[in-house]
Structure 1
Amino acid sequence: MAYKNYILVCAGTACESSNGIALYEELEKELKAQGVDAEAQLVKTGCFGFCEQGPIVKILPDESFYVKVGPEHAKEIVSEHIIKGRKVEALLYDKGQKKSLQAAEIGFYQKQQRIVLRNCGVINPEYIDEYIAREGYAALEKVLFDMTPDQVVEELLAAGLRGRGGAGFPTGLKWKFTKNVDSDQKYIVCNADEGDPGAYMDRSTCEGDPHSVLEAMTIAGHTVGANQGYIYIRAEYPLAIKRLNNAIDQAREYGLLGDNILGTDFCFDIELRLGAGAFVCGEETALLASIEGKRGMPIPRPPFPAVKGLWGKPTVINNVETWANIPMILLKGSAWFSSIGTETTKGTKVFALTGKINNSGLIEVPMGTTLREIIYDIGGGISGDKKFKAAQTGGPSGGVITEEFLDTPIDYESLQSIGSMMGSGGMIVMDEDDCIVDVTKFYLEFTVDESCGKCAPCRIGGRTCYNILDKITKGQGSLEDIDTLKTLAQAMRKASLCGLGQTSPNPIMSTLHYFEDEYLAHINDKTCPAGKCKDLLTYTIIEDKCIGCTACARVCPVNCISGAVKEAHVIDQDQCIKCGQCFDKCKFDAILKG
């Protein structure tokens, strides 16, 4: 059935949490109430990416792009746009007084190239027919009927696809290892255990395009000779789990999973395994142990999972983003894919762009895009016109990128050369008000909490590093602590059992390299240049500026501010808990924070 309009409503987790479901239901109600439900099709989609402006509604065929839409706007959208054909001006994205009618006109999208996210925000992920209508499962058909397993491997090798989980190992080579091992049983595993702070790339892909993962895993099964696949996903992702289970059921119903796929003698099925939220289970050997029902703890390698993995059998394991690339590579060819990106890193990369940025959201850019382009052209610059300080890539295992490296192209080798790493794709932007020492302490606290405790370098070294950082932020550090941090970091890198312990010192090494002066200010001067470390702050009232309005005294939770009305007030430093409420409340800049 053809419709006059299609109303696409973002139904990803971010928009759902911003009243997106109520918006969808209100639009559905208004279409019926105004008698146009037969003319306009309402569609729930995955994430549009522009999370800062959600909930988002896009209307086809004119591609009008509405932002920050609430249930209260449903009636006007239907009456004005659907019935009268007039744009609802107030809901269009407005930047610099220019109303953007379409997503393509918005700076956030103009430098993006969506391969992994090609169907997110376009199709209803809960209906397999919509995926099929956009070339879904065509790659599987091609592999089953027109390609040999060797040709599939060679195409991936020629494409130059590297694993997007962080290490960047060539995907085709990994498949080749497993394919060439003689075994009575092999397995395919999808690592959807995304746990980096601020990261939601894989979750959004599973929510918005689950069939792309299923199709790629099935292709891998046929290529290497496996008949069983597992998707390991953390239980905290209920919407992704729901849509993956729904997609698996539909694929089985359509003969795209299970026995005799598409009438061939190839049999392959997929099951979900839910993780309990352990960050270490993102490490492949710990993940496989968890699938087996054991405690998720890493084991030494080699042998690698490609040769001896799940239940001791050869196993191909890739993350969600890697899987989502594969159908398009096989459909469009290795030459097409390898034409995107840099000499050493082909294709695109999905990032969760968060932090002190105007346009936070999920982005996908060609490898080689610079950090400056991501932050200022796509991200719209730093919030509140503050000064850029650094960007953290690679999550708790990564490092900081400073202003001098804003024009560095984003690829594996370039990031490693400046002390950072690609990681799975988290990118957190910091401004002048962020304390580097405090940020480093935050990441160490995370990795200490998430350590499985199996090896001493990670278990003891991580805790010791955190304790030293905690001392420094409290003004109790010494110059010897800097040398101790460097020594411990090097030892953890060399001696830890798995990637979590080996990379957890990266934030320490990176921030010490670029911001050692900030560490020294905490140690020598007992001050926090960014004004973040509470124990190093002092709030004092400037007598000449205080008019005695009593606003500060009224919000003080410990009543440490005294003074008569219309007279200068005083803060009792012995009683002050440094909460900052007086500073925030004063309208006359009469309180000095330092």
Structure 2
Amino acid sequence: MDLHLSSAEPSTSEREAVDAAFAALAPAAVEAAAADRPTRSAHAGHAARSRRHLLLPLLHAVHDAEGWLSEGALNHLARTLQVPPAEVYGVATFYAMFSVEPRAPRVVHVCDDVACGPNGGEEVVAALAGALGPSGGAGEAADGAPGDDPAGPGGPDRPAACWVRSPCLGLCERAPAVLHQRAGEPDLSQAPATPDGTVEAATAPFDTTGDQASAADDAFADTAVSAPQTRTGAHLRLLRRVGVVDPGSLDDYRSRGGYAGLRRAIELGPTRVIAELKDASLTGRGGAAFPTGVKWEGVAQSPERPHHLVCNADESEPGTFKDRVLMEGDPFGLVESMTIAGYVTGATVGHLYIRGEYPLATRRLQDAISAARARGYLGEDVMGEGFAFDLELRRGAGAYICGEETALLESIEGYRGEPRNKPPFPATVGLFGKPTAINNVETLYDVLEVLNIGGQAFAAVGGGRSTGSKLFCVSGAVGAPGVYEVDFGTTLRELLELAGGARGELRTVLLGGAAGGFVMPADLDVPLTLEGARDIGATLGSGVVLVFDEAADLSRTLRRIAAFFRDESCGQCVPCRVGTVRQEEALARLERDAPIGSRETELALLDDLARVMRDASICGLGQTAPAAVMSAIDLGLIAAPSRNGAGHGGEAGHTSTNGHGGGR
């Protein structure tokens, strides 16, 4: 392959970062590669292009070390993987957590989304603006910070830190939240974040030991699950080990029932495990609710080889954090459940694609995978039972669209995370064109429970297509935000009571997240099932329950949701690319009480946009982007402005400070 590169060359540290990561990920290819990786060589062609799936981890390796991706680094990546430089650049610029422009080695991502923004996020933004300058700016070097240390990742002329607005960071129960993305140091999260504490963390002395991240991990360890169920003795299934087991100890996991599920699966064999999943009527918990047993059976019976397994841990729906809690608090549970899935579907490698904004969950899963591999629970002969299975962890880099299953596959393969047309579906043509089982994190933990109590016992909880228990992410104006596990069929009112009840006078509940819809107080007795939500025109989605009281600024909330979808659209199809922009613009005009023509004209435009996006978008992002907005219109939550321009609840006339949609 001929590569036409620019004259830019990587720095020594950039070259070392790429080469070290490449050697670790593809050791067999290193010996065959020429030392200078010429633009045309014997190690090009099909063999080199088959390593394109290493592009995302190699981009992470450079960005983790340097804080940005220079033209020289991108050229070196293109030579290393024999990928055209334009395509390397296209992938690098697709993800919000990567920068191809020089910037401070520390970047503070401040969540200003629907849960964090009104609950302290804007105060954190104001403090950072005062200390570091405007959003995305160069910032100011602080004494002892990376910008002052020639040995640090910034070099002598780079400032210490900058900050940007961010969509939901998956820490809604501890709002407000920030993520510190730090070159040469482990990333860390802060939640609840305080203005002074955030500035202090951003400008602290450069730490090569990882002690700051360790301290942050320790702080999170005691509060990984904020749901008071763990303190009241409620019967828990999925959360039973969270907050109890040591997430870093394989022995502690085994002492609390760990790996009993895998042993049971081996006793039953793949066919009977699938039968148990069908008896359980287990459906996917990521929002699509597809029968898990049917999916696994389709992959297991496919004659095409090899088979692949993918865990979708790219939990990016605003207001969703249940998967993060499971991965942080019980990481070995995910390793075990993926091993079961691999055994049943005939996959020898599992790909765990985790959200880039989850540094603690990533570290704990990496440690769990290493420990399981060292003890024979992963590898060529799992537990001495004669089958091979291993796990590869892939970090996302800030792209909500990669939660869509085919976009996720594209991302793993080293391409931009743009959804594929379906059919064919991943169960027949998935990762690398082979049969692939893709499951959500919560779904995989449910498999452990099915094997623990049996399919029929699992189906006895709830009913219909809604069997077993369900995790809900309760945040906003409630007494005790957190992850709550309840049986399907529990009412929304009972769930809110479990979470301490609404603070203030309840106005509405956003059910299912930004892609869901609003529920009014009159509907609180709806049973939380797939069928019950459908009956009131709502959806359970990924389990978001975001509560708003009468003081909430719903106009701003809706505009923030619209801005989120505008920024997160991959841009592949016109209905979504253009429709999300026009939707946000119409809501901005309504918020300012400056409609084109009249308010009725703007509402009619929003309705037309919604119809086009629902009917013509390629994937679920565009199809559900107008869901919350249209739900609010139908329920009258977007009120007509009063004569003095101060609509219901003081919403009209308010100008959002987040017109850029979180900087994504």
TM-score (norm 2): 0.64
Task: Identify which of 320, 337, 359 aligns with 2:441.
Answer: 320
Question: Cα distance, 1:266 vs. partner?
Answer: 0.2
- The 10-residue stretch of structure 1 (433-442 or 132-141) with the greater mean CA deviation from structure 2: 433-442
- Contact 2:350 2:391 (8 Å CA) reproduced: yes
Question: Cα distance, 1:534 vs. partner?
Answer: 4.6
Task: Identify which of 507, 513, 535 aligns with 1:417.
Answer: 535
Question: Whole-Å Cα distance in 1 between the matches of residues 537 and 491 of structure 2?
Answer: 16
Question: Cα distance, 1:18 vs. partner?
Answer: 6.3
Question: Whole-Å Cα distance in 1 between the matches of residues 425 and 655 of structure 2?
Answer: 48
Instruction: Provide the residue aligned with 1:122 in structure 2.
Output: 244
Instruction: Provide the residue aligned with 2:650 in structure 1.
Output: 531
- Larger Cα-atom Rg: 1
Question: Whole-Å Cα distance in 2 between the matches of residues 535 and 260 of structure 1?
Answer: 62
Residue type of the alignment partner of 1:103: R
Instruction: Provide the residue aligned with 1:164 in structure 2.
Output: 285
Q: What are the residue-to-residue correspondences of 1:171-182 with 2, within 5 Å?
A: 171-182=292-303
Instruction: Provide the residue aligned with 1:463 in structure 2.
Output: 581
Gaps of 5+ in 1: 1-11, 21-41, 54-64, 66-101, 538-576, 578-594
Question: Cα distance, 1:436 vs. partner?
Answer: 3.1
Equivalent residues, number: 447
Question: Whole-Å Cα distance in 1 between the matches of residues 560 and 646 of structure 2?
Answer: 19
**What secondary structure sits across from 1:428 in the alignment?**
strand
CA offsets, 1:458-512, max 9 Å, x none?
1111111110011001011221111111111011111100011001110122111
Instruction: Provide the residue aligned with 2:417 in structure 1.
Output: 296
Q: What are the residue-to-residue correspondences of 1:215-254 with 2, within 5 Å?
A: 215-254=336-375
CA offsets, 1:102-161, max 9 Å, x none?
922xxxx65xx42221210110010011111111111111222x2121111110011011
Residue type of the alignment partner of 1:380: G
Question: Whole-Å Cα distance in 1 between the matches of residues 643 and 618 of structure 2?
Answer: 36
Pick closer, same or farther for the CA change 1:435–1:417 going to 2, 3 Å. farther
Pick closer, same or farther for the CA change 1:217–1:286 going to 2, 3 Å. same
- Contact 1:369 1:409 (8 Å CA) reproduced: yes
- Contact 2:571 2:577 (8 Å CA) reproduced: yes
**2:571 is aligned with 1:453:** yes
**2:528 is aligned with 1:400:** no
Task: Identify which of 343, 346, 349 aligns with 2:464.
Answer: 343
Task: Identify which of 103, 109, 115 aligns with 2:231.
Answer: 103
Task: Identify which of 4, 25, 50 aligns with 2:226.
Answer: 50
Q: What are the residue-to-residue correspondences of 1:437-516 with 2, within 5 Å?
A: 437-477=555-595, 478=598, 479-515=600-636
Q: Deviating runs (4+, > 6 A) in structure 1?
A: 12-16
Task: Identify which of 290, 306, 311 aligns with 1:190.
Answer: 311
Give aligned-pair identity as a percent: 40
- Contact 1:289 1:297 (8 Å CA) reproduced: yes
Pick closer, same or farther for the CA change 1:302–1:46 going to 2, 3 Å. farther
Instruction: Provide the residue aligned with 1:362 in structure 2.
Output: 483
Residue type of the alignment partner of 1:270: L
Question: Whole-Å Cα distance in 1 between the matches of residues 429 and 345 of structure 2?
Answer: 14
Question: Whole-Å Cα distance in 2 between the matches of residues 311 and 369 of structure 1?
Answer: 41
Question: Whole-Å Cα distance in 2 between the matches of residues 335 and 388 of structure 1?
Answer: 38
- Contact 1:189 1:316 (8 Å CA) reproduced: yes
CA offsets, 1:207-250, max 9 Å, x none?
11111111111111111111000110122111101110111011
Pick closer, same or farther for the CA change 1:224–1:240 going to 2, 3 Å. same
**2:381 is aligned with 1:260:** yes
- Contact 1:435 1:529 (8 Å CA) reproduced: no
Question: Whole-Å Cα distance in 2 between the matches of residues 510 and 532 of structure 1?
Answer: 17
Instruction: Provide the residue aligned with 2:261 in structure 1.
Output: 139
Instruction: Provide the residue aligned with 1:278 in structure 2.
Output: 399
Instruction: Provide the residue aligned with 1:4 in structure 2.
Output: none
CA offsets, 1:373-408, max 9 Å, x none?
111x2122222xx21111112211000011111000
- Contact 2:224 2:329 (8 Å CA) reproduced: no
Instruction: Provide the residue aligned with 1:378 in structure 2.
Output: 498
- Contact 2:646 2:653 (8 Å CA) reproduced: no
Residue type of the alignment partner of 1:526: G
Question: Whole-Å Cα distance in 2 between the matches of residues 132 and 345 of structure 1?
Answer: 30
Task: Identify which of 450, 454, 472 aligns with 1:333.
Answer: 454
Question: Cα distance, 1:270 vs. partner?
Answer: 0.3
